[in-house]
């Protein structure tokens, strides 16, 4: 009885594998229809509801502009602007770490979306 059940499982697995091979040929999006015709399905592009992130200059950005960066909300953008005014402008973007609420994790997430324009530019 045990050998018969084992054999049945093997047959079922083989049938499933053969059915998958017959349905999908593995050729970059080509699928075999029941009638034997191939249809091309282009690769699906990811659709995001999020706007593309922008790169913002820290010393000229308004609080509203800073909020365009994913991870910066209204309160944090206001604290960034207040800190900028307190110190007379940022000299380097790492100074964002002195803003209350921005630790290493948040800084790592936003650092590629901000820059400080060098003096004289």
- Name all domains of the chain by residue range, CATH numbers in brackets: 2-40 (no CATH), 56-115 (1.10.150.320)
Please check whether residue 58 is in contact with residue 96, taking contact to mean a CB–CB distance below 8 angstroms.
Answer: yes
Average pLDDT in the 64-81 region? 94
pLDDT band at 118 (very low <50, low <70, confident <90, very high): confident
Q: For the segment 91-113, what is each residue's pLDDT rounded down to a tens digit? A: 999 999 999 999 999 999 999 99
pLDDT band at 12 (very low <50, low <70, confident <90, very high): confident
The beta strand positions in 33-115, using DSSP E, are 38-40, 56-57, 114-115
Tokens (6 digits) for 64? 């509203």
Bridge partner list, 40: 30
Flag the least confident range among 41-50, 59-68, 89-98.
41-50
Structure-model confidence comparison of residues 56 and 36, the more confident one: 56
Distances (CA, A) of 48 to 24, 51, 52, 53, 106: 28, 8, 9, 12, 22
pLDDT band at 9 (very low <50, low <70, confident <90, very high): confident
Comparing CA positions, the residue from 106, 111, 29 lying closest to residue 75 is: 106
CA separation for the pair 109, 72 (Å, rounded): 10
């Amino acid at each position: 009885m045990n050998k018969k059940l084992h054999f049945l499982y093997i047959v079922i697995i083989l049938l499933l594998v053969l059915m998958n091979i017959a349905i999908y040929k593995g050729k970059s999006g080509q699928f075999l229809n029941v009638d034997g015709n191939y249809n091309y399905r282009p690769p699906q592009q990811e659709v995001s509801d999020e706007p593309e992130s922008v790169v913002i200059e820290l010393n000229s950005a308004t609080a509203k502009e800073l909020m365009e960066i994913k991870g910066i909300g209204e309160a944090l953008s206001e604290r960034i602007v207040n800190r900028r005014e307190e110190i007379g402008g940022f000299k380097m973007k790492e100074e964002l770490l002195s803003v209350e609420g921005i630790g290493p994790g948040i800084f790592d997430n936003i650092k590629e979306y901000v820059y400080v324009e060098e003096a004289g530019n």
